[in-house]
Structure 1
Amino acid sequence: MATPDDSAPVRFDTKIAVLLRDDLETWQRLNVTAFLVSGLGQAAPEVIGEPYEDADGTEYRPMFRQPVLVFEGAKETLTTAHGRALSRGLSLAVFTSDLFSTGNDRDNRAAVRAVHRDHLDLVGIAVYGPRNAVDKVLKGARMHP
């Protein structure tokens, strides 16, 4: 018999969200999402759950402890959301259009470093923080289809 703690719905006071530009190709959406969420676990280790283990005792890597919600919006929506996330001091990862032409982390970082914050050609952001703050950052975006 399950204990009350085992059957109660899990509620999170935080949110992990990815916002993608709505004009990306399918492969780009997947690639950008994977890169963006990889940046959150290091900056906010509390988002990572416990390791997994199957019935045979095989161990697997831990993953996020909560869902990742994926949104989309126009270029202007990303620019606005980026500014809102920065003004609220939320944990943020960015992916710019320049990163599609690089092939490694060193060149990715150099490409972002070469552009002033207000001129980044954002194609995706990932944000983590208190649920209400993330909701405000994403205002105007829609859930990814």
Structure 2
Amino acid sequence: MDNDAEPIRFETKIAVLLRDDLASWQRLNVTAFLVSGIAASTPELVGEPYEDADGTRYLPMFRQPVLVFEGAKEFMTTAHQRALGRGLTVSIFTQDLFATGNDRDNRAVVKAVRQGQLDLVGLALHGPKNAVDKILKGARMHP
């Protein structure tokens, strides 16, 4: 039997890392796109639908918090390499994606650039807490 008074603990972490030179609208847009990749690839992270007291139903959301960090352009590359080195899959957003307008073109502009040359402006990852913490060591919480 679950105790509703017990704090809920998570063994994993969902985190988004944004480049610190993005405009506000870009930060929001990039975050939305990045977390959609996490939700799509890890459906067990998504909880049950919501319902208000009137019975109106709402879409389900992640069952755990999403932490948002920021870092310099150089740190984006470091975090990306750390994540790949630890075997975590990540969602990425590159500078080139701001110039496209659909999924086909988005995938094409990423495909055209070698991994080490990606101009990353954001990435999102999900994994064990300690791995995510080590990957993001040096980043700061988004203000």
TM-score (norm 1): 0.96
Tell me how many residue pairs correspond in the alignment. 143
Runs of 4+ in 1 over 4 A off after TM superposition: none
Match 1:42 to one of 40, 43, 46: 40
The residue correspondences of 1:69-108 to structure 2 (distance < 5 A) are 69-108=67-106
**Contact preservation (8 Å) 1:43, 1:91:** no
Structure 2 counterpart of 1:132: 130
List per-residue Cα deviations over 1:12-48 (Å, max 9, x = no partner): 0000000000000001000000100011111111211
Offset of residue 4 of structure 1: 6.6
Question: What percent identity do the matched residue pairs reach?
Answer: 73
Offset of residue 89 of structure 1: 1.4
Structure 1 counterpart of 2:55: 57
Structure 1 counterpart of 2:140: 142
Structure 1 counterpart of 2:6: 8
TM-score (norm 2): 0.97
- Distance in 2 between the 1:144 and 1:94 partners? 17
